[in-house]
Amino acid sequence: MLPLPSAQQLRYLIALSELRHFGRAAAACAVTQSTLSAGIMTLERQLDTPLLDRTVGKKVVFTPLGHEIALKARQALAALEAVPQLAAAARTPLTGPLRLGVIPTIGPFLIPRTVHILREHFPRLLLSLTEDTTEHLLEKLSLGQLDMLVLAMPCLCDGTETHPLWQDPFYVIMPSNHPFAALESVPVERLSEYNMVMMEDGHCLREQTLAICRQSPSRSGAEGESEPTFTAMSLHSMAEMVELGLGIAIMPALAINGGILKNRKIAARPLADGAAWRTIGLAWRPRSPRTTDFSTLASTLLTLALDPA
């Protein structure tokens, strides 16, 4: 019978693969650098194959086979960790660690109340949060670093199970003295009349805004889109730019209802005919043993959406 790597050996290998530095990998595993190094060498002897290319000096370089084994190690460790999670989920819903990822255009406006509700109703849940762009969160989910994501859909969520929750309409925000402020709703075709403030590259709201702007004929260039004059790293920065009169912007209702425009000289108007929205939803790895937990969390988030106060 072939000797099996231990869970700790897998953790050492995964940490080194992700961090590419023995010292940082050891710190991430809460062991000394010599312990981690010895663990990797023991695993290599156990597998009878080199996992690292040691001809390149101090640089951490995996062999092609080492890279493949590190990928398998992530899958194996995730499956191993799922065993106690499955048992815990069967005993009590939403118990133990839950690593939740959320995008920046949702997190500040949904997570505070979510955390409060979860602490009140599920005190044995150990929640950790990661805020990042959709692409990075999906990568962390696939690597087993996160358990579930709160995303804006549509998105490229291949390889995950998704659970749409509710539609989040888009509004146009503008300075309170802007001509659009006199309208009940803003026609999409008029968006090209003014500069547009957008989120920076990597944020799905930027792509959603560009999709809306493509419906405005004079804004569509040779490649179907034009560069905005100003880009923001957060919705709060976007609101500040709009208040300064640098342009108008597309803002989700979730953020507006969350008070982002409070005490600002900014008006918000819906797009005419309910022209655009995003869908707030959840994503997790297929066949996760915690699907029941995720469904419970979905119900909690829906309750918050129906009762935004």
Q: 287 vs 86, 91, 106, 155, 162, CA distance in Å?
A: 11, 19, 26, 20, 12
Whether 18 maps to a domain, the answer reads yes
Looking at the domain assignment, is residue 1 inside a domain? no
Which residue has 């707030």 as its token pair? 280
Q: Which domain holds residue 146?
A: 94-166+282-306
User: Do residue 270 and residue 176 come from a single domain?
Assistant: yes
Q: What pLDDT score does 218 carry? A: 56
- The whole-number pLDDT of residue 106 equals 94
Instruction: Give yes or no for residue 2 having a pLDDT over 60.
Output: yes
299 & 156 share domain: yes
| Residue indicated by tokens 């590419």 | 20
* Mean pLDDT, residues 98-109 taken together: 93
pLDDT reported for residue 44: 92
Sole residue written with tokens 């500069």:
195
247 part of a folded domain = yes
Which CATH number covers residue 73?
Answer: 1.10.10.10
Q: What is the pLDDT of residue 91?
A: 63
The overall longest dimension of the chain from CA atoms, in Å, is: 77
Given this model, what pLDDT does residue 170 score?
95
Does residue 102 lie in a domain region? yes
Q: What pLDDT, in 10s, does the model give residues 250-305?
A: 999 999 999 999 999 999 999 998 778 999 999 998 888 788 888 888 888 887 76
Q: Which residues pair with 196 in a beta bridge?
A: 248
Q: Do residues 50 and 67 both lie within one domain?
A: yes
Say if 2 falls within a structural domain.
no
Beta partners for residue 231, in sequence order:
198
Task: Identify whether residues 29 and 75 lie together within a single domain.
Answer: yes
pLDDT in tens, 39-84: 999 999 999 999 999 888 888 999 999 999 998 898 888 778 777 7
Residue range 174-226, pLDDT digits in tens: 999 999 999 999 999 899 889 999 999 889 899 988 888 876 665 444 444 44
Does any domain span residue 54? yes
Q: Are both 116 and 260 inside the same structural domain?
A: no
Alpha carbon distance 305, 308 (integer Å): 6
Residue ranges of E strands in 132-276: 148-153, 161-175, 196-199, 230-232, 248-252, 266-270
| Whether 150 and 295 share a structural domain | yes
Of 39, 66, 86, at which residue does a domain stop?
86
User: Is residue 222 one of the residues assigned to a domain?
Assistant: no
Where is the domain boundary, 30, 63, 86? 86
Residue-level pLDDT at 306: 63
Query: Both 191 and 138 in a single domain?
Result: no
Number of independent structural domains in the chain: 3
307 band by pLDDT with thresholds 50, 70 and 90: low
Find the helix packing angle between 33-47 and 7-19, rounded to 10°: 110
pLDDT at 85: 67
- Whether residue 67 lies inside any domain: the answer is yes
Same domain, 261 and 177: yes
Do residues 157 and 288 both lie within one domain?
Answer: yes
Domain boundary among 62, 86, 110: 86
pLDDT in tens, 122-159: 888 889 999 999 999 998 888 788 999 999 988 877 78
Please state the φ and ψ torsions of residue 198, each to the nearest 5 degrees: -130, 160
Residue 265 sits in the same domain as residue 289: no
Q: Percent of the chain beyond pLDDT 90? A: 52
Mean pLDDT (the chain, rounded): 87
Burial class for 56, CB neighbours closer than 10 Å (0-12, 13-18, 19+): exposed
Residues 22 and 36 in one domain: yes
